[in-house]
Amino acid sequence: MLKLIKVKDLRSGMFVKEVVGSWLDHPFWRSSFQVTGPDTIARLRESGIQELWIDTDRGVDVLRKIEKEVSDASQRAVAASAAADPAVADAGAAPAGSASAAPPPVVQRVLRPADEAGQAILIRDKGKRVVSRIIREARLGKLNTDEAMSLVEEISESVMRSPDAFITVARIKNKDEYTYLHSVAVCALMVALARQLQFPPDVVRIAGLAGLMHDVGKVAIPEDVLNKPGTLTDEEFRIIKAHPVVGAELLRSDGKVPEEVIDVCLRHHERIDGLGYPGGLKSAEISMLARMGAVCDVYDAVTSDRPYKRGWSPAESIKRMAAWTNTHFDDRIFKAFVKCIGIYPVGSLVRLSSERLAVITRQEEESLLTPEVKVFYSIRSASRIVPETVDLARSRDRILSAESPEGWGLSNIEYLWSEP
């Protein structure tokens, strides 16, 4: 298991998986080594590095004080589940006179994205219908949070089975579907990011619900303003900027929505540098979930086709967003987001050193520059070739650059990753 710790908590026997430094200098933080003694610890502390990732499966874990905090968080998650479902409490009850029994470990079934693609498409399409109903009812002043929570559970399970599949499927949408599928996509991104940050299960569910409901305030924006292809007037922009406040008021009036979800709705357009809205909050004034919401919201927005612009490719989006850390985004959260979806996210078009084009089909956290790809186009012959799956971690071929499909006159390449 990977854990993010402060350098001051480092001790002998730990296995350092990644050092957290400048994203541009260390794009995937690959300085991995065993901490063998006080000299190594001293050099790390003197280096100015503040945080690093350790792998507890390959070395010793953090101090007991920190382990207790993690245990307490897990116990709170179990208690929350038991309160919501008495059957959970009965099934998880400890024997009389014994210490509280730890919950059984969750068995994670990780699938290839292609294997989960069909199920992900069904859940995405259901999500579109659910969000459409939520918006219609919200315009009447009502919210169906039970249906929303059920959808979050289905999306969470899909993300658990294959971290890449649902995120990629939800990103593929036309400009007419954006209003509905944007919320579905941000839900999936929030779930994946919360799991990357090792949040307890109850917090993962709250993060997902926050992603699904973050833009509910847009029900108050006229369609002609929301989908305007040209430049907004000052008055139209004022209307757009009101949607976080409108959404938060709508969620709060329901009486059942967790405060954390309301906060993400209200604060997902705040910026670390204080130039966001509606409150102009800075850095630590913005909750962690709201900072996560800002990253997930922007990523799906810039990768999607809108009435006024074509979406950027996933890889181009990551590159541009990296330049916005410490102004728009929290640097630590953005780094975790990159680890979550990859330097070259699934579905990205890349140019290989073999003078071929390929689409990313699978990412591994340990090798973000050497993903699995599907090669399908020869640059030398300017023609399609028989698709071939290549694991770049086991090949001499390598990625030279991220490419724009439009620049090569290609379309529908997103679906290549899901073909057998």
Nearest of 296, 277, 127, 138 to residue 217 by alpha carbon? 138
Of 191 and 255, the one with more pLDDT: 191
Range of weakest confidence among 60-69, 153-162, 256-265, 332-341: 60-69
113-341 placed in CATH 1.10.3210.10:
yes
Phi-psi region of 169 (alpha: psi -120 to 50; beta: other; left: phi over 0): alpha
Using DSSP, state whether 201 is helix, strand or coil.
helix
Q: Model confidence at 24, in pLDDT bands (50, 70, 90)?
A: very low
In terms of average pLDDT, the best of 55-64, 228-237, 365-374 is: 228-237
103-159 pLDDT, tens digit each:
333 334 456 666 777 888 899 999 999 999 998 888 887 887 888 999 999 999 999
Using DSSP, state whether 316 is helix, strand or coil.
helix
Q: pTM here?
A: 0.69
Domain boundaries of the chain, sorted by first residue: 1-82, 113-341, 349-418
* The predicted structure's pLDDT at residue 23: 36
Q: Model confidence at 192, in pLDDT bands (50, 70, 90)?
A: very high
Q: Is the per-residue pLDDT at 21 higher than 70? A: no
Q: At 109, phi and psi to the nearest 5?
A: -100, 100
Q: Is the per-residue pLDDT at 222 higher than 80? A: yes
Mean pLDDT computed over 87-96: 32
